[in-house]
Amino acid sequence: MQVRPAEPRDIEACIALDHSYTTNRVWQMDTRGEISALTVTFRVAHLPRETKVNYPLQRETLLAGWQRRDEMFVVEQDEAIRGYVTLTAYAEHNTAWIGDLVVDRPHRRRGIGTLLLKTAAQWGHSQALGRLVLEMQTKNYPAIRFCQSRGLTFCGYNDHYWSKQDIALFFGTSLR
C-alpha cells in the first residue's frame, strides 16, 4: 500500500470509487430554543433497517471541489486507487480541513482510512497548522465511529451544509 499525492490521471479512478455506505444508526439533532438560550443535542438514533446512503456530493461538485483544495492524497494498492483524502489549509483559523476521506467500499476496514487520516495530519503539521477537522453527514455513523475511535472529537455542526440541506458534523483533533 502506497500513499502519494494525487495526479491528474487519478481523478477518474477516484470518481469511480464506491463512495456510498450503509448504516442502521444516525446522529439525530434536537434543538430547543428560548429567548435567552438555545440547546442543541445530538443523540444516536436506531433506524428500523440498514440503509444505503450515497455520498452527498455528485461528480461535478467533487471535481470542482478538488480544484479548490490545497492537496489531495491517494492510496494505491496493486496498481489501483483504493482511497483518497482532500485537504484545505485555513491558516487564518490554524486548521487543516478534510473535505473528503473516501475508501472504496470493498477495501474498507483494512487500515486505508487510518493511513489517509495519518497522512492528512502529517500534511497539516507540515503546513504549521494546529488542528485537523473532518466533515461528515449525521447519517454517516460509520465515519462518526471511525473518528471517535481515532481520537477525534465532535467540534461543531452546520445544519444546512450540503446541497440537499443535510446537516454536517465536524470532528477534530489537535496537531500539536
Fold of 2-174: Aminopeptidase (3.40.630)
| Mean pLDDT confidence for 75-83 | 97
Please give the pLDDT value at position 57.
74
Q: Percent of the chain scored above 90 by pLDDT?
A: 82
Its pTM stands at 0.92
- Proportion of the chain above pLDDT 70, given as a percent: 100
Backbone angles phi, psi at 117, to 5 degrees: -65, -45
**pLDDT at residue 9 in the model:** 93
- Residue 77's pLDDT is 97
Please compute Rg for the chain using Cα positions.
Answer: 16
pLDDT band at 54 (very low <50, low <70, confident <90, very high): confident
Question: To the nearest 10°, the Cα dihedral for 114, 115, 117, 120?
Answer: 170
Joined together, the cell numbers standing for residue 168 give 454536517
Can you give the residue ranges of every domain in the chain?
Answer: 2-174
Q: What is the mean pLDDT of residues 108-112?
A: 97
